């Protein structure tokens, strides 16, 4: 798979030629080999893209992210039927029992809260929310039936960004959080497709109108990486987000996290997590290889 993220800020047309992405702008053109690319993000609403290029993106497992006029990602295209045993993987997914899903979600919520605690220890350092979130770790049972994930998120965000902060408001901090989350979830979607997994079939998320339930399940422990970055740079956020700031959010895919005390980039980490998810329903070893945020 590729390793480069291509951001198209302004161009007249992008198309395919000689196994390369060709970007045309103001009478000049630049080329990037498709085999080097993992993601293409288009911010210019006037860019023309050919269907041949879209088809080649699919063949090469390249995800395409399209942004709106505020430069916020609104659409994701990911490779379809990329895995050579798609039906086998899909059938295995269908066999996952509710008890297994509950245990997997317990593990995800626990690691998400543990990472949230680490972020608070590096940022606000407020004792009460840290203590409260720590106490929640022992109360995560039966698929988080007590909703400790939701309660901890509310307390966590207020400790990070102040008591007046409300998630999903139309402001710079929320825009930065949403942008960062979307970049990471697009990487998860791409990897799920490569491993032959169906993105509709979630562990906890089960919306009938969300094509990416599983991706948003697996996103949860990675959110803290975005949260920490936005906190560290909150005084430099303008709205709409600047191009330089958006590039830094995209570069978080190269941020390192821990797996069994070893450092891996988020891009690589996602593969480790997905492999452990497949192993959980293939062998009965219900243990997810979840990322841990690194203290800075």
DSSP strand pairing (63-67 vs 37-42): parallel
DSSP for 74-104, written as a single string? EEEE--SS-STTHHHHHHHHHT--HHHHHHH
Residue 129: closest CA among 87, 99, 162, 97? 162
Distance from C-alpha of 216 to C-alpha of 203, rounded to nearest angstrom: 9
Per-residue confidence (pLDDT) for residue 268, from 0 to 100:
96
The CATH fold of domain 86-282: 1.20.120
One digit per residue, pLDDT tens: the chain, 296 residues?
678 999 999 999 999 999 999 999 999 999 999 999 999 999 998 999 999 999 999 989 899 999 998 888 999 988 876 655 666 777 888 889 999 999 999 999 999 999 999 999 999 999 999 999 999 999 999 999 999 999 999 999 999 999 999 999 999 999 999 999 999 999 999 999 888 888 999 999 999 888 899 999 999 999 999 999 999 999 999 999 999 999 999 999 999 999 999 999 999 999 999 999 999 988 889 999 999 999 98
The tokens describing 277, both together, are: 């998810």
Per-residue confidence (pLDDT) for residue 196, from 0 to 100:
84
What is the Cα 45 distance to its own chain's centre? 23
CA angle centred on 207, ends 179 and 211, rounded to 5°:
60
Q: Is 13 exposed, middle or buried (0-12, 13-18, 19+ CB in 10 A)?
A: middle
- Enter the pTM of the model: 0.91
Residues of the chain with CATH 1.20.120.920: 86-282
Per-residue confidence (pLDDT) for residue 46, from 0 to 100:
93
Task: State the CATH class of domain 4-77.
Answer: alpha beta
H or E, element range at 106 = helix 98-122
- Residues sharing a CB contact under 8 Å with residue 140, sequence separation 6 or more, in sequence order: 106, 109, 110, 113, 146, 148, 149
Q: Is 53 exposed, middle or buried (0-12, 13-18, 19+ CB in 10 A)?
A: buried
Residues of the chain with CATH 3.100.10.20: 4-77
Residue with tokens 């919520």: 109
């Amino acid at each position: 798979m590729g390793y480069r993220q291509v951001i198209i800020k302004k161009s007249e047309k992008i198309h395919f030629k000689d196994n390369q992405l060709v970007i045309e702008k103001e009478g000049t053109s630049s080329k990037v080999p498709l085999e080097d690319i993992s993601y293409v993000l288009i911010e210019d609403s006037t860019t023309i893209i050919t269907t041949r290029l879209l088809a080649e993106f699919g063949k090469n497992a390249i995800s395409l992210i399209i942004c709106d006029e505020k430069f916020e990602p609104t659409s994701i295209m990911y490779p379809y039927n990329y895995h050579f045993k798609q039906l086998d993987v899909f059938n295995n997914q269908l066999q996952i029992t509710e008890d297994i899903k509950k245990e997997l979600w317990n593990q995800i919520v626990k690691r998400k809260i543990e990472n949230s605690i680490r972020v608070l220890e590096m940022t606000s350092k407020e004792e009460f929310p840290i203590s409260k979130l720590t106490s929640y770790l022992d109360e995560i049972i039966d698929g988080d039936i007590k909703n400790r994930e939701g309660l901890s998120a509310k307390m966590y965000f207020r400790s990070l960004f102040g008591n007046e902060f409300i998630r999903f408001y139309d402001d710079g901090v929320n825009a930065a959080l949403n942008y960062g989350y979307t970049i990471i979830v697009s990487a998860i979607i791409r990897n799920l497709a490569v491993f032959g997994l169906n993105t509709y079939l979630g562990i906890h998320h089960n919306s009938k109108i969300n094509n990416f339930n599983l991706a948003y399940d697996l996103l949860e422990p990675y959110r803290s990486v975005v949260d920490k970055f936005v906190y560290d740079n909150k005084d430099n956020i303008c709205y709409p987000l600047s191009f330089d700031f958006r590039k830094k959010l995209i570069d978080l895919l190269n941020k390192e996290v821990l797996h069994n005390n070893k450092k891996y980039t988020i891009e690589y980490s996602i593969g480790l997590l997905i492999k452990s998810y497949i192993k959980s329903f293939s062998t009965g070893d219900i243990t997810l290889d979840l990322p841990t945020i690194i203290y800075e």
